[in-house]
Structure 1
Amino acid sequence: MPQVSPDPDLPLQDWRLRLYTIIFEADTRAGRLFDMALIAAILLSIAVVVADSVPALHERWRQQFTWAEWCFTALFTLEYLARLACTRRPLRYATSFFGVVDLLAMLPTYLALLFPGAHALIDVRVLRLLRVFRVFKLTSYLAEYRGLGRALQASARKIIVFITGVLMIVLVMGTLMYVVEGPANGFSTIPTSVYWAITTMTTVGFGDITPKTDLGRFIASVMMLLGWGTLAVPTGIVTAEMTSQRLSATPAPTTRTCHECLTEGHLPEALYCLHCGARLPHWHHEPRH
């Protein structure tokens, strides 16, 4: 009798459920050990690439570095295939942020066979260290990260209005400096003058263009003082939103993931996914000692 492929609409069972809990979650001892071993492998693989870029080490340990890199690539390839095998919807994982990062973590080694320069792209593996928030269950940091994201999202419209106002100011001031200073003093075009206004208002001041007239210097002084003032505006907006988020703080999330959309951070008592609405499976976890 031919083997029937698992129905993606059925819940995960047996070895797929156990493998999924170990690989995608970190609330069990096996899951934490797996993720810690994975992060150690990522750090070692990045160290190998960095060391291989040093000419003296490359000449002395070239063969060892090559073998080590292929071992790491084989390990990450097996891990990627295991993730595809234990998820209900492999394509959804493959097209997710971490799915793309996991794929990019191993592709450079294979591409280096055709394009030697692609070997340097292996450092993209450092993005996989984002999993450290899950591994050690740093819920306080994870909660702060999510709170900052929500505050930025809630402040988006206010910040857009603020940036629009700043752009209007630099356009007007840049045009004014073009009229006051002129091409003779380096303000050759309005775009160049606007560039000067942006660098001045943001307190960067590269110094490649400077006003020479007294009126131009006065305008530059006003721009600098205005720049100091504008720095406080977006900071105050985001801080106010973060304070609001903190006052309405929710209990610390877990690494519990939805088998449908693969999003994590659900509360222990949650019954449905907060993103796609799918019913959540039983939460597999072990108490920490």
Structure 2
Amino acid sequence: MTLKRRAKLRAPATSQHKNLGTHMAAFTMRKQVYAALPEGEEHRGARWMAALIIGNVILATATTLLQSVPELQPHMAANTTIPLLCGSLFLVEFCLRLWTAPECHRLWGKFPVLGKCGSYLVSFHGVIDLLVCVPMVFILAGFAATGWLSLFGVISLFKLSRYVTSLELVGTVIRNERHTLMASVLTLGLLLVVLSTCLFLIENEAQPERFKSIPHSMWWGIVTLTTVGYGDMSPVTLPGRILGGMTMLIGIGMLAMPTGIIATGFANERKRRELLQTWKIVSSLPLFKGLDANWISEISGLLRTLMVPAHVTVITKGEFSTALFFIVDGEVEIDLHPAPRRLKRGDFFGEAGLLQNKPRSATVTTVKPTRFLVLGLAEYQSLISRAPDLRRKLEETASQRTRESR
């Protein structure tokens, strides 16, 4: 085979390697950009990006609000620098999120069009990210971003749900409780129609100019059921007033239903998130390495979180053993002789007293603010009786520490 022919055969392979290298580089860059965006993996750049976007949202909203002040309208209309700057930053963020959408595990990958990119475009945040870019397009086209276009500047406030946990929590609770909330809203709507119809039939003859029709009477129904009571429409007949009083009482009870549903939803969601966070912490602790998900879930339900400031005594030598402590964050010092010993994240203490049913053998003090997961005595005994491997690990750790302290 000649050298020219060999070179021709190698050329396609070399080209394929170059294309593969280009794709890998683009893939790696996309992952890095996704990690730098808020909602991505843990990355230091995400904090700065979140701060930049939050500042941009505040600036865009403040500009929109000031544009409605008559004294400032001439100045705000002449200065388009701030709206263009805010719109440009929003557009860059939208393009980056669209490009990195395939890396987001929260998006539905089997969307009929464009896969995860299409899923992002029709998601709540995707629609908001696109709408906030609309004022910049009109400004570049020579139109003033005033009137109803100002609404797009205020819509940018919904972007804060990515960065403010409480706002995201509200959306999650409403989504989780949507069926129950819809049932209460439908019930309220049915009552509104029935009660407004009854009052129309009662008051139409006495006040034909106010209760002209059932749709007109529904305004009275809304105001009365919500117990607002504007007073622009009120019954004058005795049956009408009796019905009005009943409507007020029904409204108080019906409006309390969604409040109770949302409050319960908040409690359940916070408990679920705390349990999930505890599950992640427990699964990362060396003592529980190798346990399956069912054991981790059960242990997570038995633990409680305890925050202790710095330089506070957690356990005292000689006191009765009542709990096992796992360090989540922070550092503690065990008062041992001849030299104290320090424990950090992932370590645990208090196992010797529980295993041997003896008083504490040392005093433990926090060196810095420390967060613990605490396993109580009753929960510990129940767990150890059903997990011999866990008991063996605790006994090995306790015997090793006893040897080291001698």
Q: Which residue of 1 aligns with 2:91?
A: 77
Q: Which residue of 2 aligns with 1:116?
A: 143
Mapped to 1, the partners of 2:48 and 2:247 lie a distance apart of 55
Q: 2:27 aligns with which of 2, 13, 35?
A: 13
SS of equivalent to 2:126: helix
Q: Which residue of 2 aligns with 1:29?
A: 44
38-47 or 234-243, larger mean C-alpha shift: 234-243
Q: Which residue of 1 aligns with 2:120?
A: 93
Cα separation, partners in 2 of 1:184 and 1:117, compared to 1, 3 Å: farther
Matched residue type, 2:248: M
Cα separation, partners in 2 of 1:26 and 1:58, compared to 1, 3 Å: farther
Mapped to 2, the partners of 1:198 and 1:62 lie a distance apart of 40
Mapped to 1, the partners of 2:161 and 2:201 lie a distance apart of 54
Cα separation, partners in 2 of 1:112 and 1:68, compared to 1, 3 Å: closer
Mapped to 2, the partners of 1:119 and 1:252 lie a distance apart of 46
Kept after mapping to 1: 8 A contact 2:61/2:157: no
Kept after mapping to 2: 8 A contact 1:46/1:123: no
Q: 1:191 aligns with which of 197, 208, 215?
A: 215
The runs of 5 or more residues in structure 2 that have no matched partner are: 1-14, 103-115, 284-328, 330-406
Q: CA RMSD in A?
A: 4.0
19-28 or 120-129, larger mean C-alpha shift: 120-129
Q: Which residue of 1 aligns with 2:243?
A: 219
Q: Which residue of 2 aligns with 1:204?
A: 228
Q: Which residue of 2 aligns with 1:176?
A: 198
Residues 102-141 of structure 1 aligned to structure 2 (within 5 Å):
102-114=129-141, 116=143, 118-120=145-147, 121=149, 123-132=151-160, 134-135=162-163, 141=166
SS of equivalent to 1:116: coil
Mapped to 1, the partners of 2:122 and 2:136 lie a distance apart of 21
Mapped to 1, the partners of 2:119 and 2:176 lie a distance apart of 28
Mapped to 2, the partners of 1:245 and 1:74 lie a distance apart of 36
Kept after mapping to 2: 8 A contact 1:98/1:128: no
The runs of 5 or more residues in structure 1 that have no matched partner are: 254-266, 270-286
49-58 or 181-190, larger mean C-alpha shift: 49-58
- Offset from partner CA, 1:252-287 (integer Å, 9 cap, x none): 67xxxxxxxxxxxxx798xxxxxxxxxxxxxxxxx9
Kept after mapping to 2: 8 A contact 1:26/1:32: no
Deviation at 1:59, TM superposition (A): 3.4
- Offset from partner CA, 1:23-76 (integer Å, 9 cap, x none): 24273211111121122123223333433444443434655x223332333333
Matched residue type, 1:145: V
Q: Which residue of 2 aligns with 1:59?
A: 74
Residues 266-277 of structure 1 aligned to structure 2 (within 5 Å):
none
**Residue 40, structure 1, aligned to residue 65, structure 2:** no
Mapped to 2, the partners of 1:86 and 1:27 lie a distance apart of 15
Matched residue type, 1:124: F
Kept after mapping to 2: 8 A contact 1:41/1:72: yes
Kindly name which structure, 1 or 2, has the bigger radius of gyration based on alpha carbons: 2
Higher RCO, 1 vs 2 (CA within 8 Å, ≥6 residues apart): 1
Matched residue type, 2:47: R
Kept after mapping to 2: 8 A contact 1:26/1:35: no
User: What TM-score comes out, normalization by structure 2 length?
Assistant: 0.50
Mapped to 1, the partners of 2:152 and 2:174 lie a distance apart of 23
SS of equivalent to 2:201: helix
Mapped to 1, the partners of 2:212 and 2:167 lie a distance apart of 50
Matched residue type, 2:173: L
Deviation at 1:5, TM superposition (A): 9.8
Matched residue type, 2:225: M
Residues 210-249 of structure 1 aligned to structure 2 (within 5 Å):
210-249=234-273
Kept after mapping to 1: 8 A contact 2:227/2:248: yes
Kept after mapping to 2: 8 A contact 1:46/1:122: no
Mapped to 1, the partners of 2:20 and 2:121 lie a distance apart of 18
Deviation at 1:12, TM superposition (A): 7.3
Q: Which residue of 2 aligns with 1:261?
A: none
User: How many aligned positions are there?
Assistant: 250
SS of equivalent to 2:80: helix
| Structure with more strand by fraction | 2
SS of equivalent to 1:203: coil
Mapped to 1, the partners of 2:240 and 2:131 lie a distance apart of 51
Q: Which residue of 1 aligns with 2:173?
A: 148
